[in-house]
Structure 1
Amino acid sequence: MKHKLAFLGLGVMGKAMYVNLHKSGQSIKAWNRTKNSPHVQSLPSEFQLNVVDSISEAVKDANIIFTCLGDVADVEDVFFNSEGVMKFAQSNSIIVDFSTIGSQSAQKISHKLQQKNIRFLDAPVSGGDIGARQGTLTIMVGGSLTDFQECEPYFNILGKNITYCGSAGSGQAVKLCNQVLASLHMIGVCEALKLAEKQGIDPHLVVDVCSTGAASSWALSNLAPKIIDSDYNPGFMIKHILKDLRLVKETLGENSDLPGVELAQKLFEIAAQLNQGEGYNLGTQAMMKSYINQ
């Protein structure tokens, strides 16, 4: 692997992914909108040395540019503003976007980048902060198969379940389905723990027993213990899952008829608005807060 890499966006997920690439011995520069953010400042000094001040400095020599940003507007701004990636990226470089932005936006971005001979892979991830730190993410990739194969060695540093899903936007399409499942699993976890409480059952017993059978899920194994411990620190924030559910509804348009999504969105919103909106920055397991007074 002899590519020069750039990584843009050092939030909860991006920071850990950048660290794993750096530890593997890659030639990499990183950039974050706020260089003095807590995530950047908490990096060991040797990792901070490669965090540069501008997008141009990060990407001008890079063959592959990884991005892990927020919503559609964030990605479009970083890519297309007057000092953005499109202005400084090399011709024939590859942008790999780990953000969740929906299939329609991914297709539009891919088309726009092609006009400057910049290749694009949409590669949303699943696995939360734990998977990002441990390098065990699930990565769903859309775009050219050839481009996917060129980037696959780097995906294997970051994740354990790497799937080529098809043409541009296909990774995003699968990710939105993933987010529907994750949201509904969280409803199940919260209601199972609530039922255990009502029956006087140790909630740890529910996690231990049900995680071995047909009701098992990542949420039950990883997030239910956090709920039991009243640990609502974010691995994946409520504001981000609400953004993803918004993308689901936008994708379906007027034909949206997913009552489970409507319920999950409602419960996440209730939790998000607690304490004057502080809940938006809590982890998705904080959905349980919407059940507390029930």
Structure 2
Amino acid sequence: MARSKVPGEVHVGFIGTGVMGKSMAGHIQQAGYPLHVYTRTAAKAEALVKEGAVWHESPAKLAAACDVIITMVGYPKDVEEIYLGEDGLVANAKPGSTLIDMTTSSPLLAARIYEAAEAKGLHALDAPVSGGDIGARDGKLSIMVGGSSEAFEAVRPLFEQMGTNIVLQGKAGAGQHTKMCNQIAIASGMMGVCEALAYAKTSGLDAESVLKSIATGAAGSWSLSNLGPRMIAGDFEPGFYVKHFIKDMGIALESAKAMGMKTPGLALAESLYQETAQNGFDEKGTQVLYTYYLQA
């Protein structure tokens, strides 16, 4: 994809239009890029199709029609199948196309995809994001990118439709390693946020009033400001699923172990979220951990 091309000349494929993907794809469509979509549950793409997106029956057919393909799916196994499978993107994309995986996935898998793409005359970037459903909706995601600077600069205009903090972190896999840093920070932080607000409730304080006092001080964080009100309101619907957070923490634990690094905070958070999932909350938002601290 040449950076000089105008949006209308660059056909963009988007695979995975879930909680975040649908908003991300929508921003690209609204910017004037011809949009092509594929998702295993066709109903999730209906709104985009009604606005003019072209539906494809498989990743392979989508790849053959696009200059840039973006994926935002669930798990590393999904990423591997979509990119490296017989009917996947690497085998079916047009020469010179750019493949961008925005799923939170394995750094090692990102490097494998990069190498396979390069061998086929394709460009590949790993570009996981942070900001949840709110950041996706508002086009204010943080985007962490791994890959070549040339490929990054060529698709920067696309990233700018979805995010405001866009950083090339290094070679293939660097975006995913950066996202692991992000998830490690969130994991321990979420324990603190949930524990603090549960303490406020248990001690008889007005949790909303407590939030006003601590959200702008040294304890302030994105999770406290954005998910704290949801906890207090008993709103545990997903901006980011518990099951997906457990997946991310698993990747981070494996990566840290491979480097010989200890991550006790991450290990504790992962164990608490595993228990939360076993209690039937795997399809809820990560803020549901708050309920763990309110158990008698």
TM-score after normalising by structure 1: 0.94
Give the SS at the match of 1:281: coil
**Match among 202, 206, 226 for residue 206 of structure 2:** 202
- Separation (CA, whole Å) in 2 of partners of 1:106 and 1:192: 37
Q: Which residue of 1 aligns with 2:287?
A: 285
Deviation (angstroms), 1:67? 0.7
- In structure 2, stretches of 5+ residues that fail to align are 1-5
- Separation (CA, whole Å) in 1 of partners of 2:173 and 2:208: 40
Q: Which residue of 1 aligns with 2:269?
A: 264
Q: Which residue of 1 aligns with 2:228?
A: 224
Deviations 1:63-111, CA, capped at 9 Å, x for gaps: 1111111111100101122221122201111101100113222112211
Q: Does 1:187 align with 2:194?
A: no
The amino acid of 1:158's aligned partner reads M
Q: Mean alpha-carbon deviation: is it higher for 171-180 or for 255-264?
A: 255-264
Give the SS at the match of 1:111: helix
Q: Which residue of 2 aligns with 1:8?
A: 15
Kindly indicate whether the alpha-carbon contact (under 8 Å) linking 1:40 and 1:48 is maintained by their aligned counterparts in 2.
no
Deviation (angstroms), 1:48? 6.6
Q: Which residue of 2 aligns with 1:139?
A: 143
The amino acid of 2:264's aligned partner reads P
Kindly indicate whether the alpha-carbon contact (under 8 Å) linking 1:145 and 1:164 is maintained by their aligned counterparts in 2.
yes
Kindly indicate whether the alpha-carbon contact (under 8 Å) linking 1:35 and 1:53 is maintained by their aligned counterparts in 2.
no
The amino acid of 1:282's aligned partner reads K
CA RMSD of aligned residues (A): 1.5
- Separation (CA, whole Å) in 1 of partners of 2:179 and 2:53: 33
Deviations 1:223-262, CA, capped at 9 Å, x for gaps: 0111111111001001111011100111122634211111
**Match among 120, 133, 145 for residue 116 of structure 1:** 120
- Separation (CA, whole Å) in 2 of partners of 1:235 and 1:279: 14
Deviation (angstroms), 1:51? 2.5
**Match among 29, 34, 55 for residue 51 of structure 1:** 55
Deviation (angstroms), 1:52? 2.2
Kindly indicate whether the alpha-carbon contact (under 8 Å) linking 1:5 and 1:27 is maintained by their aligned counterparts in 2.
yes
- Separation (CA, whole Å) in 1 of partners of 2:60 and 2:109: 24
Q: Which residue of 1 aligns with 2:3?
A: none
Give the SS at the match of 1:290: helix
- Separation (CA, whole Å) in 1 of partners of 2:271 and 2:90: 38
C-alpha spacing 1:44/1:9, structure 2 compared with 1 (3 Å): closer
C-alpha spacing 1:54/1:45, structure 2 compared with 1 (3 Å): closer
Kindly indicate whether the alpha-carbon contact (under 8 Å) linking 1:7 and 1:65 is maintained by their aligned counterparts in 2.
yes
The amino acid of 1:181's aligned partner reads A
Q: Which residue of 1 aligns with 2:93?
A: 89
TM-score after normalising by structure 2: 0.93
Kindly indicate whether the alpha-carbon contact (under 8 Å) linking 1:271 and 1:279 is maintained by their aligned counterparts in 2.
yes
Q: Mean alpha-carbon deviation: is it higher for 122-131 or for 8-17?
A: 8-17
- In structure 1, stretches of 5+ residues that fail to align are none
The amino acid of 2:38's aligned partner reads W
Q: Does 1:20 align with 2:27?
A: yes
